[in-house]
A and B are shown apart, each in its own frame.
Chain A
């Protein structure tokens, strides 16, 4: 029930965060956890990279799921071509694409590539017949806020026409917390936390979209190690001191985050692996689900 409050909160969840914080992992974990709760989940990749599909499309996991997770890729050029097709420009869209003019259109009105992608996401969000939850591995690096701001930007530059209508529809979706939320991902380190706080303010104030709980990735689950137990073994002592220092530093950053941002927070444990694989999703999804229960309770 509690988890349904989280997953049912918004039909479209856009996962955003700076490069290297584990955005794709978190997208996969949310999709996996929601599917485990019996939801019909669509996971969307915006970069045309195989990572998200690799994490979610394992045959065994898909067979166990009540509703297999659908994974799709939406890229700007395809979305733009689709958009033109859908707006009575089918005949020209092919010619536009082959002559490279699509790139030029995207340049003429920056954000147009983002808006057609957002428009697609809006369509998927509206598709209640097929999906309960659409979770999007958002754009990388510093691009997240720009991506989300595309709709507002175009409302200012494009004063008429279908793109303006599209931008308006996207803004309407952003304004409704039951339709769309943004989940920000960060790490428990000084710089990523600073960036997380900045992004959170930018998203709320400039984009006007509801923020879901923050997800902090790769947090050492502890506990701290007793440094005094091994007398005379330097390796053990150094390893314990190193681990304890990292744990304390992470806690200090999490405390700072709490004091700077009044948002619910979910931490995902660091696993002793060099990059998450689909075998790790279960453990991360249960961490997510158990904390959702706490947050909701």
Chain B
């Protein structure tokens, strides 16, 4: 039984994290598929899937905020079900605003504000926060008992964990509190804009942007408590024991460094890495040591060049496998070998349910079991 076998029985949320290009999405999809096949009611949330993987998961309709059920063959055991969704951050944020706004008119004003449109798209950590928010919603959704989520490809893999706090900090910032002062009496937008600090900002970004921002915060006034409480609840869930983190890496020096860094940061937040997945490892063919294969190639160079080329090839592939093993060794040691899952480089790119099943054979012991 692998650590992931245990995980898909026990846990309610699985977060797949790691740096860009290491196969986070594919790993999340393979885990979700196997868990569903084993009888769990799973929803997998992806952020930016490759097109063909999205097609395989029935997400060809593009972004959606509703999970779509995926037909899987052979059918899942028991009550197992797999749904997938591709996160639409803007729509999710809009829904939150509508939910917390004091009135539909207030919501309308916020949603139409240019500054809000900017925040929804570009506020540092918005996408991460929204992914966490969606995770929270799906966790409470009675249709699902396991949520598997893929983290956004960010400059900094930690943004996801910090996102709720970032949003809270943003809302709590005294500058925004200033802008949120209700426009009562003679205190009009222009007067607020005349505050020295705002005047300075206005000089830099231009008066229009500032006016939009002030209008936004005035419409937002009163909603910040709802948002803050929600962000706290989301943050608690990210740190709760029902949430497990799967760290994904590839056997390249830089991604191993990033994975190690992320593991350290999780540890600082008192979160254990529940499973480590190392993707795209060069497979080994047989057990002949690298040196021996390369020496054999040398010795056959003249007598049998074709055969020498084959030995050379075996030696080179094995050399790469050795180098990869050496590069991941510190990460494996730090994680504890018991939670490491090695996935070989497959002959073809993975973009079908069949391909995901093949990945799953390397993540789990044996076929799905209820």
* B251 and chain A: residue at smallest CB distance: A274
The distance from the CB of A169 to the nearest CB of chain B, in whole angstroms, is 16
**Which residues of the other chain, A, contact B50 by a CB distance below 8 angstroms?**
191, 194-195
Interchain CA distance A101-B173 in the complex, whole Å? 8
* A273 and chain B: residue at smallest CB distance: B323
Interchain CA distance A172-B122 in the complex, whole Å? 24
**Which residues of the other chain, B, contact A99 by a CB distance below 8 angstroms?**
174-175
Say yes or no: A104-B206 contact (C-beta < 8 A), given A142-B48, A191-B52, A239-B285.
no
List residues 96-149 of chain A with CB under 8 A from any CB of chain B.
96, 99-101, 103-112, 139-143, 146
* A229 and chain B: residue at smallest CB distance: B306
The reply on B104 being an interface residue by CB < 8 A is no
The reply on B67 being an interface residue by CB < 8 A is no
Q: Please tell me which one of the listed residues A20, A139, A161, A194 contacts residue B204 in the complex, with CB atoms under 8 A apart.
A: A161
Q: Contact between B326 and A161 (Cβ–Cβ < 8 Å)?
A: no
The reply on A275 being an interface residue by CB < 8 A is yes
Q: Contact between A230 and B310 (Cβ–Cβ < 8 Å)?
A: yes
Q: Contact between A20 and B205 (Cβ–Cβ < 8 Å)?
A: no
Give the size of the chain B interface in residues (CB under 8 angstroms): 71
One of B207-215, B239-247, B332-340 at the interface: B207-215
The reply on A249 being an interface residue by CB < 8 A is yes
Interchain CA distance A160-B202 in the complex, whole Å? 10
**Which residues of the other chain, A, contact B173 by a CB distance below 8 angstroms?**
100-101, 104
Say yes or no: A243-B317 contact (C-beta < 8 A), given A19-B19, A108-B201, A140-B20.
yes
**Which residues of the other chain, B, contact A111 by a CB distance below 8 angstroms?**
122
**Which residues of the other chain, B, contact A195 by a CB distance below 8 angstroms?**
50
**Which residues of the other chain, B, contact A107 by a CB distance below 8 angstroms?**
118-119, 122-124, 170
The reply on A202 being an interface residue by CB < 8 A is no
> Max chain A CB contacts within 10 Å: which of B210, B313, B316?
B313
Say yes or no: A24-B286 contact (C-beta < 8 A), given A240-B310, A243-B313.
no
Chain A residues within 8 Å of B, Cβ to Cβ: 18-21, 24, 47, 51, 84, 87, 89, 92, 96, 99-101, 103-112, 139-143, 146, 157-164, 189-191, 194-195, 225-226, 228-230, 233-240, 242-243, 245-246, 249, 272-277
